[in-house]
Amino acid sequence: MHKLDAKVQLDGWTQPTLLKVATLPEFASGLFPLERMVLDLRDPKVRAASPTLSQLPWAGFVVNDPEQAPAERPWVTLPPETLNAQPGDVIEVVPETSKAALRYRRGANNNILFATERCNSFCLMCSQPPRDIADDWRISQICALTEPIDQNEPSLTITGGEPTLLGSGLNRVIEHCASVLPHTQLHVLSNGRNFGGGVLASSFTGLHPALMWGIPLYGDHYGLHDYVVQSAGAFAETMRGLYALESAKQRIEIRVVLIKPVVEHLPALVRFLYRNLPFVEHVALMGTEPTGFARAHHDELWIDPADMSAVLAESVDYLTTRDMPVSLYNLPLCTLPRSLWPYARRSISDWKQHYLPACESCVVRERCGGLFAWVTPDWTSRALKPILEGEEQCANQ
């Protein structure tokens, strides 16, 4: 697990500022203005060239010790044990609180653009409990953040909260992403409820060359879905939203969190998806993240992956034999039948990915997504154990 923010020493900044950490390759690329970069004087090669480089108009410097910083120039200390920022990453320095935060990590498996804390659902297992606050300021922040991100970044995820509550601000963000990162896949996680009228959905037509919407659906009828999201009428709104997105020629993924009441009806749900939403490009069946509201609803939500094996196998087989792509997220390989391993993905963001001591001897650890860093024994499968030499071969036969 990596820290995303920490207290640091800093000087020379008067307001929150987004900055790209740069060494010689970032400087030589010429892709980013020096005024948006901090030169990393922790690198010995950079320090050797610093008498010349330091005279350039950098926004500031990353140092191990304040004495390394050029006189009267902004600086920040980022010790690896405090905040492991590396070249190419984007940090935000916040002088008011003497903190720095990692906003983009080069090479991370899932970089997030956080849109809003507001939401019109109240899901039982929400990992980011909503708050009704004014945070439209995030629109400008996200647009500013995308500018120092590597232009070869393969994908970014916009999430919340419910991003559509930004109104036209979400269009602005997506359009800006298309402008500064035209080759980056953009995945927007939304509950889909605000698309039903069709106007909002059509406003995204042609806005981004590689845009996909991740929409949750938790049952084949309104009772189950509305119960999970704790909002009457949500199922009908989401279904209208899905059809509106399809009409607007938007790409769609269905996301299903595998909590107990959903797993109990999963075969019916996947049949519903095939019959009613054949235009969906991908279905993600996802293990629960044990934080936020989920922790308060353990008894209602928890089902050991070992106890859902048969249902998962049946559901995956149903979808794949009908050419609906499906993946399994957030589930360690050892908790799954071998037949499902090809569908399991390393989906947990690497900054919150964790392995137990039992995983040390596992020969498939590098292929396994592991666990969430905040997993506790009551959220841990009884099937969790290392896969030993020879057992992997059996899994591939």
Q: Report the C-alpha gap between 238 and 247 in whole angstroms.
A: 14
What is the DSSP secondary structure assignment for residue 12, as one 8-state letter? S
CA atoms within 13 A on the CB side of 329: 18
Contact 386, 360 (CB under 8 A): yes
Positions of E strands within the chain: 5-7, 10-11, 17-22, 37-40, 60-63, 75-77, 90-94, 99-104, 112-114, 155-159, 185-189, 211-216, 251-257, 282-286, 326-329, 353-354, 371-372
Predicted local distance difference test score (pLDDT) of residue 397: 40
Contacts of 369 (CB under 8 A, 6+ apart): 329, 330, 331, 332, 333, 344, 345, 346, 347, 348, 353
| Full DSSP string of 226-283 | HHHHT-TTHHHHHHHHHHHHHHTT-EEEEEEE--HHHHTTHHHHHHHHHHH-TT--EE
**For residue 71, how many other CB atoms are within 10 A of its CB?**
5
Contact 142, 173 (CB under 8 A): yes
pLDDT tens digits, the chain, 397 residues: what are they? 678 999 999 999 999 999 999 999 999 999 999 999 999 999 998 988 878 889 999 999 999 999 999 999 999 999 888 899 999 999 999 999 999 999 999 999 999 999 999 999 999 999 999 999 999 999 999 999 999 999 999 999 999 999 999 999 999 999 999 999 999 999 999 999 999 999 999 999 999 999 999 999 999 999 999 999 999 999 999 999 999 999 999 999 999 999 999 999 999 999 999 999 999 999 999 999 999 999 999 999 999 999 999 999 999 999 999 999 999 999 999 999 999 999 999 999 999 999 999 999 999 999 999 999 999 999 999 999 999 987 765 544 4
Alpha carbon dihedral 82, 87, 90, 93, in 10-degree steps, equals 50
Alpha carbon dihedral 238, 244, 249, 252, in 10-degree steps, equals 0
> What does each C-alpha distance from 325 to 98, 151, 318 come to in angstroms?
46, 28, 11
Helix (H, G, I), strand (E, B) or coil at 119: coil
Contacts of 54 (CB under 8 A, 6+ apart): 39, 61, 70, 73
At position 95, the amino acid (one-letter code) is P
Tokens describing residue 84: 């492991």
Contact 253, 300 (CB under 8 A): no
Predicted local distance difference test score (pLDDT) of residue 396: 41
Beta-ladder partners of 60: 38
Predicted local distance difference test score (pLDDT) of residue 393: 56
